[in-house]
Amino acid sequence: MNKKLTVPELEALSKKTRAHLLKMIHDAKSGHPGGSLSSVEIMLSLYFNVMNRDPADPEYDRFVLSKGHSAPLFYTVLMEAGYIPESVNNLREYGSILQGHPDAMKTKGVELSSGSLGNGLSVAAGIAAAAKIDGKKTRVYCLLGDGECDEGLVWEAAMMAPSRKLDNLTAIVDRNMLQIDGCTEDVVCLEPFPDKWRAFNWNVVECDGHSYTELLDAFKQASEHKGQPTVIVAHTTKGKGVSFMENNVGFHGKAPNDEELEKALSELGEA
Amino acid sequence: MSAKGTRDAYGEWLKENGADKKIVVVDADLSASTRTNKFSPDYPERFFDVGAAEQNLVAFAAGLSLGGKKVFASSFAYFETGRAWDQIRNLVAHDKLDVQLVASHGGLSCASDGASHQALEDLAITRVIPNLKVLVPCDAEETKHALDAVMKIKGPTYMRLRREKEPILEKSYEYKLGKTAKMQEGSDITLTAIGSQVNFAVEAAKILSGEGVNAEVLNVHTLKPLDRDTLVASAKKTGRVLTTEQHQVNGGLGGAVAEVLAEEYPTPMKIMGVKNTFSETARKQSELIAHHGLTAEHIAEAARVLIKKTRK
């Protein structure tokens, strides 16, 4: 459960992960491919290199998926990590443990139910604060979407976490520039986005969210930074890895049909 | 009859129990008003003020509970339920987190601040949420019993407390979470009350007793899960049920009682509360209680009318 992969191993796993989550969404005939594909490298870095996930260690690291619509990616990662049997293949089906959005009551490895946007960072801050009270080495990671940052609660949490010096908290924003109604800058302007976090007293690290080398370096900087929480603004491409899904807002919440899946898998070399 | 505020009992209880390291308290810039400031000086490492940010209050409390803590999160009843309903529903209640939402200034007890601050819908919007217990102690003494009770269980609770000093009532029952308490036995009508209205229902029963009417008074300190058995047994005995609450007539105690009786023993009812209107400012809570027709005399009069209408 706690294996650490090298960059080449992670890169190999990226394609397999993309193919798997697309198959899940295709079979369910609904789900969110765009924001799942953009977060692949972030999630795989966390689960297979950065986080201490030793279940026997009371100071294990915690993960909160605030952008709950990346559930197909989350489930794929939890399968690869051994929390969910790989045989489970019924996303969004009646009775499935793989709910449309993550459900902590049904799925092992899901710490917090999510789906209603904007809640995760505040919860992650609470987990980080509890760890501080107990003097634990636990680090807490929270993955947010950029469109999600329209939610006011994100900024309530963003104000509070530095004031409590929660340097055991790392937020990662999947900055793919697209939300349901279009470009984030056209819907409600988020920029200057990193500066907003800086103004809220966060340690800000920007990186290419599809480069494992850059991501792992960003996580290292986050873990070494003292006195402030860190936000990693990970610049990504929505729909990454599948040409006709990239930067295409139409695939925010639409399943690929048979033909599209076949094409996607062939592009990923996983046909 | 001595008097004390339910919020004051909460502050005392936090101070008395604060040495328990599981307990963490969160407030949203109202710690002097909610009385969590009785806890914060002794245990600053386990006290968090998130500022005027109620969504953060509840979501942060959810995180603390995921970190293994028994969390008490406090604000005014309206703000805590009205501004943070999503976080109560989707985080605290859905995931059955050990978060106690203990809110002050419920009902008309926030009289002078006016409509924006008065919680008259909180019982409706909390009792519809699965997994969430809804507790409304009738006085300061019962507040401490309720807090003791939630310490013994795990899971989420909404507890509505109030601002003003209120009489400590005479009780002959032992507090049991989930068990409606009988303030007095009777056979002619059931006066079902919640929170500070319990006192007025008891007073109304005294008035009625002088007229030869023998009223049963129920104290619904646990609105959810509602004790169906006690309610139905009382309705079968008296054949008339009146409810009284400092809450909208829709969706609160009256609604909860009607839901049970409609299914199990349809009974003529009178639902007394704030009649689908916003309230307003008053320097004294008693002025608003009179304005909305919720005094002991109002309850007695409504009981007379219900009895007349349903004479056997």
Look at chain A and report how many structural domains it folds into. 1
Q: What is the mean pLDDT of residues A99-111?
A: 97
Active-site positions of B read 54
- The Cα A66–Cα B62 span in angstroms is 14
Read off the pLDDT of residues A118-143 as tens digits, 9 standing for 90 and up: 999 999 999 999 999 999 999 999 99
pLDDT at A114: 97
- The Cα A82–Cα B25 span in angstroms is 36
Read off the pLDDT of residues B85-97 as tens digits, 9 standing for 90 and up: 999 999 999 999 9
Of the three residues B137, B167, B197, the one that is the final residue of a domain is B167
Look at chain B and report how many structural domains it folds into. 2
B84 and B48 in a common domain: yes
Please check whether residue B173 lies inside any domain of the structure: no
Report CA torsion sign: B20, B105, B245, B6: positive
Q: How confident is the model at residue B306 (pLDDT cuts 50, 70, 90)?
A: very high
Report CA torsion sign: A122, A124, A130, A131: negative
Which run of H or of E encompasses A206?
A: strand A203-208
Between chains, do A157 and B60 touch, taking CB under 8 Å as contact?
yes
Q: Nearest by CB to A126, which of B46, B61, B95?
A: B61
Residues of B in contact with A160 (CB under 8 A): 50-51, 53, 56, 60
pLDDT, averaged across chain B:
97
Please check whether residue A1 lies inside any domain of the structure: no
Read off the pLDDT of residues B236-258 as tens digits, 9 standing for 90 and up: 999 999 999 999 999 999 999 99
- The Cα B143–Cα B198 span in angstroms is 14
Q: For residue B203, which of B193, B5, B83 has the smallest C-alpha distance?
A: B193
pLDDT at B95: 98
Inter-residue contact B184 to B50 (CB < 8 Å): no
Read off the pLDDT of residues A25-63 as tens digits, 9 standing for 90 and up: 999 999 999 999 999 999 999 999 999 999 899 999 999
Q: Residue B161: give its domain's CATH number.
A: 3.40.50.970
pLDDT at A1: 55
Q: What is the mean pLDDT of residues B181-201?
A: 98
Chain B CA closest to residue A154: B56
B147 and B32 in a common domain: yes
Question: Which residue do the tokens 């209050």 mark?
Answer: B57
Inter-residue contact A39 to A67 (CB < 8 Å): yes
Q: What is the mean pLDDT of residues B3-17?
A: 98
Please check whether residue A167 lies inside any domain of the structure: yes
pLDDT at B194: 98
Please check whether residue B208 lies inside any domain of the structure: yes
Inter-residue contact A251 to A34 (CB < 8 Å): yes
Between chains, do A126 and B59 touch, taking CB under 8 Å as contact?
yes
Which residues contact residue A208 at a Cβ distance below 8 angstroms, ignoring those fewer than 6 apart? Answer: A214, A215, A234, A235
Inter-residue contact A194 to A204 (CB < 8 Å): yes
Q: How far is CA A87 from CA A101, A102, A147, B297, in A?
A: 19, 18, 33, 68
Read off the pLDDT of residues A64-84 as tens digits, 9 standing for 90 and up: 999 999 999 999 999 999 999
B196 and B63 in a common domain: no
Q: How far is CA A223 from CA A51, A141, A145, A210, B82, in A?
A: 11, 11, 21, 20, 37
Question: Best residue in B57, B65, B66 to probe A by mutation, most A CBs within 10 Å?
Answer: B66
Please check whether residue A251 lies inside any domain of the structure: yes
Between chains, do B59 and A157 touch, taking CB under 8 Å as contact?
yes
Q: Which two tokens stand for residue B23?
A: 């307990």
For residue B301, with 0-12 CB atoms within 10 Å meaning exposed, 13-18 middle and 19 or more buried, which class applies?
A: middle
Q: Residue A253: give its domain's CATH number.
A: 3.40.50.970
CA atoms within 13 A on the CB side of B199: 18
Task: Give the A:B interface size as CB pairs under 8 Å.
Answer: 100
Show the CA angle centred on residue A73, arms to residues A67 and A74, nearest 5°: 70
Read off the pLDDT of residues A171-216 as tens digits, 9 standing for 90 and up: 999 999 999 999 999 999 999 999 999 999 999 999 999 999 999 9
Q: What is the mean pLDDT of residues B216-229?
A: 98
Please check whether residue A149 lies inside any domain of the structure: yes
Please check whether residue B55 lies inside any domain of the structure: yes
Inter-residue contact A172 to A144 (CB < 8 Å): yes
Of the three residues B103, B137, B167, the one that is the final residue of a domain is B167
Please check whether residue B193 lies inside any domain of the structure: yes
Please check whether residue A235 lies inside any domain of the structure: yes
Domain residues for the domain of A177 are 7-268
Strands (E), A129-194: 140-145, 169-175, 178-179, 182-183
Q: Nearest by CB to B90, which of A113, A129, A133?
A: A113
Q: Nearest by CB to B59, which of A111, A123, A159?
A: A123
Q: What is the mean pLDDT of residues B167-183?
A: 97
Domain residues for the domain of B214 are 181-309
pLDDT at B125: 98
Enter the pTM of the model: 0.97
Q: Residue B241: give its domain's CATH number.
A: 3.40.50.920
Q: Which two tokens stand for residue B157?
A: 């609770």
pLDDT at B228: 98
- Three-class SS state of B241: strand
B187 and B305 in a common domain: yes
What's phi and psi for A184, nearest 5 deg? -55, -30
Please check whether residue B299 lies inside any domain of the structure: yes
Q: Nearest by CB to B91, which of A62, A123, A128?
A: A123
B118 and B41 in a common domain: yes
pLDDT at A251: 94
Other residues' Cβ atoms within 10 Å of the Cβ of residue A130: 23
What is the complex's ipTM, to 2 decimals? 0.96
B260 and B205 in a common domain: yes
Residues of B in contact with A131 (CB under 8 A): 67
Read off the pLDDT of residues B41-83 as tens digits, 9 standing for 90 and up: 999 999 999 999 999 999 999 999 999 999 999 999 999 999 9
Is residue B128 left, alpha or beta, with left meaning phi > 0 and alpha meaning psi from -120 to 50?
alpha
Between chains, do B53 and A62 touch, taking CB under 8 Å as contact?
no
Please check whether residue A2 lies inside any domain of the structure: no
Inter-residue contact A22 to A33 (CB < 8 Å): yes
Q: Higher-confidence residue: B118 or A270?
A: B118
B190 and B141 in a common domain: no
Q: For residue B100, which of B45, B39, B173, B152 has the smallest C-alpha distance?
A: B152
Please check whether residue B154 lies inside any domain of the structure: yes
Of the three residues B138, B167, B196, the one that is the final residue of a domain is B167
Q: How is residue A246 annotated by DSSP?
A: T
Q: Which two tokens stand for residue B34?
A: 């909610």
Please check whether residue B277 lies inside any domain of the structure: yes
Please check whether residue B192 lies inside any domain of the structure: yes
B205 and B116 in a common domain: no
Question: Best residue in A114, A127, A154, A166 to probe B by mutation, most B CBs within 10 Å?
Answer: A127
